[in-house]
Amino acid sequence: MKQNLFHDALDCFELALKDERGMKDPELWNNHGLALAGLKKFDQAIASYDKALQIKPGATFVDRVEPPVKAEDYYLWWFNRGTALVDLKRYEEAIASLDQSIKIQPNYSFVWFFRGLALFRLERYEESRAAYRRAILLSPNTPYIASKDLLSVQDYVIYYGEAEAKSRLGSYKDTIQAFERGQKIRSENPQVKFFDDNSSENFYETYIDGIRLLDQGENKKALTVFEQLIAQNPSYTNAWYGKADALTALKLYPEAIAAYERVIALEPDDYPSWYKKGNVLRKLDRKEEALKAYEKAIYWSGGFSEVWHNRGVIFYDQNKDAEAIDAYTRSLKANILWGGIAKIDTQYALAATLYRARRYSESLLAVEKVLKEQPQYQEALELRKLIKKILNNGR
């Protein structure tokens, strides 16, 4: 059935490409390539993606209301080209293509996943794990591992990448579970190599021991473990990250900031460090510095609900209502990556800010959304009374 759909789609795209306008539309060439890839004609698909990439920005999409093609649109065509090269087992070329995609759009999770896959096949395991970690950090709820047709049973590296990602997200139980899955695969496939020697493997397992302690609330003991790892390897990012989390839990905030900054020095694109650093700066009432940290977290992640919400809180405290409204609005539209902040609370914060900005009709609409979801939300009930009184008096 799928094959028939790809054949039908391909016929449509080829008919459209006979038109001169169609030949100048990079998205049409991209879709043509996707249909070919679906039929496992990967060489032809790559040729089609190349046609898309040869068309310069400013071209027009055929029969669409979108504006002309922009430079940032090309990340998806480089990505699709890279995946076709992975299917052809041309891994070095695939990585080069995927890297072009990353240059344009560094926060697209799937490009990092396929980069990890190509690196694993080249037995570049450290780089592979880092790429998988990045993919999962950017989209932690995506079931990458369900891609059975892509992942071999020996590709336990994705579980270690998942473990590191979940630890940075503060999901310690998920961290331990992912690590143990990877460890099980390794024990069942002893011929597969990842660590250069037993001491490196023991080092990694000690890091997981530190995570177990964080999960148990044994923050002082965890801190000791991470500091011992740092003494052995001062550039071991995971240990610095664990140390920062332990220090935060112990409310040693200046020391925690210094540890997050060490992570950032080693991995500038690690958005969780920027986000958590911002959170600690907020606790210290260093609001402008927190906003700058959040800006970096948004840049490297593409933005997520919690970071936009926290920016909104700071702007509200600074009486910058327009900025707060914008931040809360973005938060409501963004994906939840971390948890801990309920969308309904963001919706109420938006309503309260609109009220303070004297945008009463908009505030009423926002507060009604809160009460539709939770009719007994006390603050929202009180706010609705105030708004209705003002609107009625204005008649």
Contact indicator for 101, 108 with CB cutoff of 8 Å: yes
Higher pLDDT, 58 or 165: 165
pTM: 0.86
Give Rg (Cα) of the chain: 25
Distance CA 302, CA 58 (A): 24
Distance of CA 143 to the CA centre of its chain: 13
pLDDT band at residue 28 under the 50/70/90 scheme? confident
pLDDT value of position 212: 97
pLDDT for 16 equals 64
In this structure, are residues 78 and 97 in contact, taking their beta carbons and an 8 Å threshold? yes
When pLDDT is averaged across residues 62-85 and rounded to a whole number, the result is 82
Q: What angle do CA 325, 67, 110 make, to 5 degrees?
A: 75
Query: For the chain, how many residues are written?
Result: 395
Indicate whether 1 pLDDT > 50: no
Q: Is 195 helix (H, G, I), strand (E, B) or coil?
A: coil
pLDDT higher for 96 or 8?
96
Listed in sequence order, the DSSP H helices in 122-191 are 125-138, 157-168, 172-188
d(CA 4, CA 204): 48
300 pLDDT above the threshold of 50: yes
Cβ atoms of 80 and 33 closer than 8 Å: yes
pLDDT of residue 56: 83
Q: Name which of 289, 292, 321, 324 is nearest 308 in CA terms.
A: 324
- The predicted model gives 137-157 an average pLDDT of 69
Cβ atoms of residues 183 and 190 within 8 Å? no
The answer to whether the CB of 189 falls within 8 A of the CB of 167 is: no
Question: Which range has the worst mean pLDDT, 114-123, 274-283, 386-395?
Answer: 386-395
Lowest model confidence (mean pLDDT) among 114-128, 240-254, 343-357: 114-128
What is the Cα–Cα distance from 103 to 79, expressed in whole angstroms? 11
On the question of pLDDT at 15 being above 80, the answer is: no
Structure tokens that stand for 82 in this block? 């890279």
- Distance, in Å, from the CA atom of 58 to the CA atom of 238, rounded to the nearest integer, reads 43
Q: Cα-flanking dihedrals φ and ψ of residue 72, to 5°? A: -70, -15
Q: What is the pLDDT of residue 147?
A: 54
Residues 6+ apart with CB under 8 A from 254: 284
Measured CA to CA, the distance from residue 117 to residue 87 in angstroms comes to 11
Share of the chain above pLDDT 90, in %: 63
- Of 81, 35, 36, the C-alpha closest to 54 is 81
Task: Tell whether the model's pLDDT for residue 392 goes beyond 90.
Answer: no
Residue 4 or 326, more confident = 326
- One DSSP character per residue, 63-81 reads T--SPSP-GGGGHHHHHHH
Confidence check: pLDDT of 376 > 90: yes
The pLDDT value given to residue 68: 73
The stretch 259-266 carries a mean pLDDT of 97
- What SS3 class is residue 222? helix
pLDDT at res. 268: 94
User: For residue range 39-63, what is the model confidence (pLDDT) as tens digits?
Assistant: 888 999 899 899 888 888 776 766 6
In the predicted structure, residue 269 carries a pLDDT above the cut 70: yes
pLDDT(150) > 70: no
SS3 state of residue 255:
helix
Average pLDDT, the chain: 88
Estimate the crossing angle of helix 157-168 against helix 125-138, to 10 degrees: 50
Q: Are 248 and 272 in contact (CB under 8 A)?
A: no
Local structure of residue 336 (DSSP, 8 states): P
Record the tokens describing residue 274, joined without a space: 């920027």
On the question of pLDDT at 393 being above 60, the answer is yes
Question: Which amino acid belongs to residue 268?
Answer: P
* pLDDT tens-place string over residues 195-229: 655 557 788 899 999 999 999 999 999 999 999 99
Predicted local distance difference test score (pLDDT) of residue 239: 95
In whole angstroms, what is the distance from residue 393 CA to residue 395 CA? 5
Q: Are 67 and 48 contacting, i.e. CB atoms less than 8 angstroms apart?
A: no
Q: Is the pLDDT reported for residue 385 higher than 90? A: yes
| Average pLDDT, integer, range 340-347 | 92
